[in-house]
Chain A
Amino acid sequence: MIDAKVLERHGVKPDEYERILAFMGREPNLTELGIFSVMWSEHCSYKSSRVHLRTLPTEGPQVLQGPGENAGAVDIGEGLAAVFKIESHNHPSFIEPYQGAATGVGGIIRDIFTMGARPIALLNSLRFGALDAPGTRRLLENVVAGIAGYGNSIGIPTVGGEIVFEPTYAGNPLVNVFCLGIAKQSDIIKGVASGVGNAVYYVGAKTGRDGIHGATMASAEFDDKSAEKRPAVQVGDPFMEKLLLEACLEVMQTDALIGIQDMGAAGLTCSTTEMGSRGGAGVEIDVSLVPQRETGMTPYEIMLSESQERMLLVAKQGREAEVERIFEKWDLHAVRIGHVTDDGLLRVKERGVVVAEIPNRALTDEAPEYHRPMSEPEYLREARQLDLDTLAAPSDQNATLLSILGSPTIASKKWIYRQYDHMVRTNTINLPGLGAGVVRIKGTDRALAMSVDGNGRYCYLDPRLGAMLAVAEAARNVACSGARPLAATNCLNFGNPERPGIMWQFAKAVEGIGEACRALDVPITGGNVSLYNETDGKAIYPTPTIGVVGLLEHADHVVSRRFQESGDAIVLLGEGRGELGGSEYLKVMHDLVRGVPPALDLDAERKLQALLVTLAGERLMRSAHDCSDGGLAVTVAECCFDTNGIGAELSIEGAGVSREVTMNTAAALFGESASRVIVSVVPEHVTTVLQRAAAAGVPARVIGQTGGSRLRIAVAGEIVIDQSADEAERVWATSIDKHFAHRVA
């Protein structure tokens, strides 16, 4: 009955089936095979990535909960914890962009409130093909609408994020969603089942046939038949989730629960198995008791359904009525579907008859783990070559600046973020588009800053360095807001790990993340791996997305990217080296993704971030903006935007990286050297700022001042940019809108 075809349909390899036979001591039935197939899928088991992930730093005095639970948690003082995680929903979002993105938001929110935390902020990191390519606008509009539809309705603000447009993502967009919640440290609750005889409850939406084998789908590549997989995408119901959120948080206040877990990937299977496994117990359920929205569902379908907005919880004996009453208040019905056992088995019954029985360990700890072969991909040698002297140097730096400001990756994302409610909960003190998202914590003086960053282009050219740069940038963005970076979460988006070149990219990127996180003291507290991001055999750029969370001791010390007043000094922290490898300049002006990404000195980066926290704490800087994509000219231009027309005048040196003078100028203006920040400082504080920088070992110098209505930049003594700040802002502000101009305003 289980033949090669059945195994192939379940994505179970022949050698994996041998393992299953060994664990079971018999042939599994179809339900059992289905359970193995989802639990051993790449998505749930991390079988290709685990050996690498183990090398990441996950500990520190600030870490309350590292990887392995529904989300990570860090100490933010006053007895509170920040609970956060990032997750991908790439595959479903490509097949059905609205629901794929919406349920991605729903899933990550559940991970947070499952821990006993009230979710207070969302971020997202999105990747699409070129904005003017066919299909991109439809994908973008629907993904954004899906995120908005879910987040706005449930009432959790989307306070920031990032979007990149690059042809590599045309057939495989990335939708990574981050959520952060706040809990009292003493209230954190875990996904464990224990105590023989304790009741196992199912609560939330009814189970349907949607999403069956979603985890398996997320563990395979796409081809021209992928659209046929649409039934494997789930449909979201944010109202149901809002009720679940409120009811669960209310139940958690009672101390009547042992543990709770959401049903995400692999649904009932994953939650029963993982809760049992974490608690060193077994879980027995009867699927005929599971509320169903369709008739005639088989145990196989019920166990594998990925219907959204469902939770599994274990109540303390004698407290069941209390739990049931709270859910009733919210018009939810907690249904007892089983109990905890001490035999370490997942036992599934249908009307009392056992239909599946598998040791938990076989599904979790004993799942396959691969040391997949790795080798440096061929393309790298060629792609890393870059001879600037073979490129035509730009004759008009003004026009170049406007071209880069209008590039959709650099341009204002207001058209997108104004579709997200970013102010609900009245905590948002740094609005989207102004730097890291910052939310104050009511009842305290504190605030949390958060940023998600990735750079597929850098990682394509050097996965190890690119990943380090992504960690550095996310932490730097947080530090620019004045917050001290505390910890990180990662979402690792890569191609098919069965290809040695992809596995090499993955391993190198994880090495880079580990090294940067150790150096900057931002341990990884959790995250998610998304492999098989390929369409028709073509992989995306390796794209690790890093989310960093930081703490501001005083919310009113928050700093944004915007210049505040005319006449302030513009100070450059860090040093430019005219590095154009992998830059936006090369992409926009020469359509090249080439060269070596900017070098990163982690020690210099750490000092820079510490300095930023000091300057914000002493209120010595009025604005701070990370100098990265687009380089210094773009960064200073952005500091002028949304300020009611404050311009800037500055003077910098040439880069000395080319025989051509104009290319040296371009490299100075648009090079993307790391560990640089543009800050504005009140004149009387300049000396102090330079002293603080010197004491911290950070290069710093005044390069100009704010004011006037123009953006004027001299390189090596010659004015090469002289541009109306308003005009530059108009180009930057309207670039993305223009692509949707055929629609009503």
Chain B
Amino acid sequence: MRFGIVVFPGSNCDEDALYAARDVFGQDAEYLWHKDADLKGADVLILPGGFAHGDYLRTGAMARFSPIMAPVRAFAERGGPVLGICNGFQILLEAGLLPGAMLRNRGLKYRCEHVYLRVEQTDTPFTSAATAGQVLKMPIGHGEGNYFAPPEMLKTIEANHQVVLRYTDPQGRVDEAWSPNGSVNAIAALCNDARNVVGMMPHPERACEALLGGVDGRVIFDSIVRSPKGFALQGIGRRLQPSQTA
């Protein structure tokens, strides 16, 4: 499997994503510079964490205008698997590849710590190796992870089973006190209607080696790596329609 890691100026988890894909999981992986319009034959795309273009205006607001976003969008529309981590998730929201928006964390402070997550959906290319209800422990690191969608949109998202991970307590129960940022419906990760585009605030690439204190992030990479090439393209996504994006 060949990973393409999109690099915006200000991306800072690009090396971590590449390291996880290439050195931990032994896959091909290559950086894709934001000014290029070439995906270099990638089978899966990761939009990594960071502060693309400084994020001075609003997280992800500038990055969506980068030249690489046109081929990223086309790739997503063809059903190609796309994972946005942290800032990558924020960029996918701004680009309209995922529904909703991010607000500043409830406490108005950046939070870097381990959180507990419950797997809600296993029919995405990034959670297919997990089991529904499984509780994962993974780090977060963000100031704007307070996911928001207006009531009607939220209803649709829930009805379509687009919530992939929720913040929970260690036993997997949703509890406001265990949410690090105040996200609506405790949403930590989300997919599009076609299920090939996933955005998540937690950092799976930071939880792939025991030396770093946890390996629960491996399941995200395992899902995509273990799947036959073009897994998502061949229809893990239910209701996949090439023209349809969220």
Contacts and interface: CB of A to CB of B under 8 A. Distances in A.
A424 B141 contact: yes
A419 B10 contact: no
A424 B211 contact: no
Interface string A345-377: 000000000000000000000000000000000
B107 A152 contact: no
Residue from B15, B108, B208, B209 whose CB has the most chain A CB atoms within 10 Å: B15
Contacts of B49: 424
Given A148-B110, A426-B205, A154 B211 contact: no
B10 A421 contact: no
A153 interface: yes
B215 to A, nearest CB: 12
B201 to A, nearest CB: 13
A11 B115 CA distance: 53
Nearest to B109: A419
Given A238-B54, A331-B9, A426-B205, A431 B106 contact: no
A18 to B, nearest CB: 48
B141 A421 contact: yes
Contacts of B13: 155, 424
A744 B106 contact: yes
Contact of B203 (A330, A423, A428, A442): A423
A606 interface: no
Contacts of B195: none
Contact of A422 (B23, B108, B109, B112): B112
B113 A239 contact: no
Interface in A241-291: 242-243, 246
A428 B212 contact: yes
A516 interface: no
Given A148-B110, A422-B112, A744-B108, A237 B54 contact: yes
Nearest to A141: B109
B143 to A, nearest CB: 8
B51 A442 contact: no
A426 B53 contact: no
A508 B226 CA distance: 64
B81 interface: no
Interface string B1-28: 0000000011011011001100100000
A154 B12 contact: yes
Contact of B110 (A240, A243, A419, A426): A419
Nearest to A443: B23
B206 interface: yes
Given A424-B141, A429-B211, A744 B112 contact: no
B50 interface: yes
A431 B214 CA distance: 12
Interface residues of B, number: 35
Contacts of B110: 148, 152, 419-421
Given A239-B53, A330-B9, A421 B112 contact: yes
Contact of A743 (B12, B20, B54, B107): B107
B14 to A, nearest CB: 9
B141 to A, nearest CB: 4
Contacts of B16: 424-426
Contacts of A418: 111-113
Contacts of B56: 239
A112 to B, nearest CB: 16
Interface string A136-162: 000000000100100011110000000
Contact of B112 (A145, A243, A423): A423
Nearest to B141: A421
A239 B10 contact: yes
A534 B15 CA distance: 44
B213 A429 contact: yes
Contacts of A429: 211-213
Nearest to A152: B110
B139 interface: yes
A153 B203 CA distance: 16
A330 B109 CA distance: 30
A555 interface: yes
Contact of A419 (B20, B23, B112, B212): B112
A446 interface: no
Contacts of A423: 112, 139, 141, 203, 206, 212
A239 B19 CA distance: 23
Contacts of B9: 239, 242-243, 246, 330-331
A745 to B, nearest CB: 6
Given A154-B12, A421-B110, A745-B107, A426 B54 contact: no
A331 B106 CA distance: 35
A429 B214 CA distance: 10
A152 B208 CA distance: 21
Residue from B55, B141, B205, B208 whose CB has the most chain A CB atoms within 10 Å: B141
Interface string A420-452: 111111101101000000001010000000000
B141 A152 contact: yes
A429 B9 CA distance: 27
Nearest to B15: A425
A16 interface: no
B110 to A, nearest CB: 5
Nearest to A332: B9
A670 to B, nearest CB: 31
Given A155-B50, A238-B51, A431-B213, A420 B112 contact: yes
Contacts of B15: 425
B141 A239 contact: no
Residue from B49, B106, B212 whose CB has the most chain A CB atoms within 10 Å: B212
A324 interface: no
B141 A745 contact: no
B50 to A, nearest CB: 6
A556 interface: yes
Nearest to A148: B110
B93 to A, nearest CB: 19
A239 B54 CA distance: 5
A426 B12 CA distance: 11
Nearest to B208: A426
Contacts of A246: 9
Contacts of B54: 153, 237-240, 242
Interface in A6-29: none
Interface in A398-415: 414
A431 B212 CA distance: 9
A424 B112 CA distance: 10
Interface string B78-121: 00000000000000000000000000001111111100000000
B197 to A, nearest CB: 24
Interface in A663-717: none
B12 A155 contact: yes
Given A419-B111, A429-B211, 17 more contacts: A152-B112, A152-B141, A238-B51, A238-B54, A239-B10, A242-B9, A242-B51, A420-B112, A421-B141, A422-B112, A423-B139, A423-B206, A428-B212, A442-B19, A442-B23, A744-B106, A744-B108
Interface of B: 9-10, 12-13, 15-16, 19-20, 23, 49-51, 53-56, 106-113, 139, 141, 143, 203, 205-206, 208-209, 211-213
9 contacts: A152-B112, A152-B141, A155-B12, A414-B113, A417-B112, A423-B203, A424-B16, A556-B211, A744-B106
Cβ-closest 3 pairs across A and B: A155-B12, A239-B54, A421-B141
